[in-house]
Amino acid sequence: MYKVFLTTLLLIAKTVPVLAQNNWVPEVEKEGIKIYTAVFPNSRIKAVKAQCNVKATASQVVALLMDVESATDWVYHTKSCSLIKKVSPAELYYYSEISLPWPLQNRDFVAHLKVSQNTGTKVVTIDGPAVRGQVAEKKGIVRIQDSKGKWVISPAGPDYVNIEYTIHVDPGGTLPPWLINLFASEGPLKIIKNLKIQVQKPEYKNAVLTYIVN
């Protein structure tokens, strides 16, 4: 049960997609996905980084990540996900609730996603920290207040991009950090595996975004 819980928390990376770290330690490599962990300053909870080449364009990946309401289809244990405010095609706020098995309390969060691109290198960055406010806290649900993450999507040859995803999240509540760190690599593995499948759906595969140069 705790394994499911910890995997779920690390999968909210879609929401809080961070961290310039130089001390990444390799943890696992599976199906072309490399997972690293690092000690985050002033925290007993490790940061996690996943890297993988994906057959897709930058527009495909961005279109999926900005389609926040699709999270219930592919982000592990997402009970609900709804758009709060669309600032522009490349910036939005959304709310999500993560369903956890009894007796654990569900978690929820509000995230601010913002896309930028270096027009010279074509590297796309999506920042998505958890933010306070926007949605009132709900009884019986633990609000995640501290979560920072980043997606970096880089050209990787014809028809491929390299995805680098980093995440550091404090799930709140009373779970000990050693238990959270024990399963740190499992969540990112699942989310990248699901992403590789999801971006091939027609609504993303044929995406054309005016603010992204492929």
Helices (H), the chain: 2-11, 58-66, 71-74, 177-182, 186-198, 202-205
pLDDT at 198: 94
DSSP for 73-85 reads HHSTTEEEEEEEE
Pairwise CA distance, residues 42 & 25, whole Å:
18
Domains in the chain: boundaries: 2-205
Q: What is the per-residue pLDDT for 191?
A: 84
Q: What pLDDT score does 18 carry?
A: 42
Structure confidence at residue 104 (pLDDT): 76
Rounded-to-10 torsion of CA 73, 79, 84, 89:
-20
- 110 in Cβ contact with 93 (< 8 Å): yes
Amino acid 77: pLDDT: 76
Q: What is the pLDDT of residue 85?
A: 95
Q: The domain 2-205 belongs to what CATH superfamily?
A: START domain (3.30.530.20)
Confidence (pLDDT) at 12: 42
pTM listed for this prediction: 0.83
Of the candidates 51, 21, 11, 4, the residue with the CA atom closest to the CA atom of residue 190: 11
At 196, phi and psi to the nearest 5?
Answer: -60, -35
Q: What is the pLDDT along the chain (214 residues), one digit of tens a residue?
A: 444 444 444 444 343 334 444 588 888 888 899 989 887 676 667 788 889 999 999 999 999 999 999 988 887 778 899 999 999 999 999 999 988 777 778 888 999 999 999 999 999 999 988 888 889 999 999 888 777 778 999 999 889 999 998 877 666 555 555 545 545 556 777 888 889 999 999 999 989 999 999 8
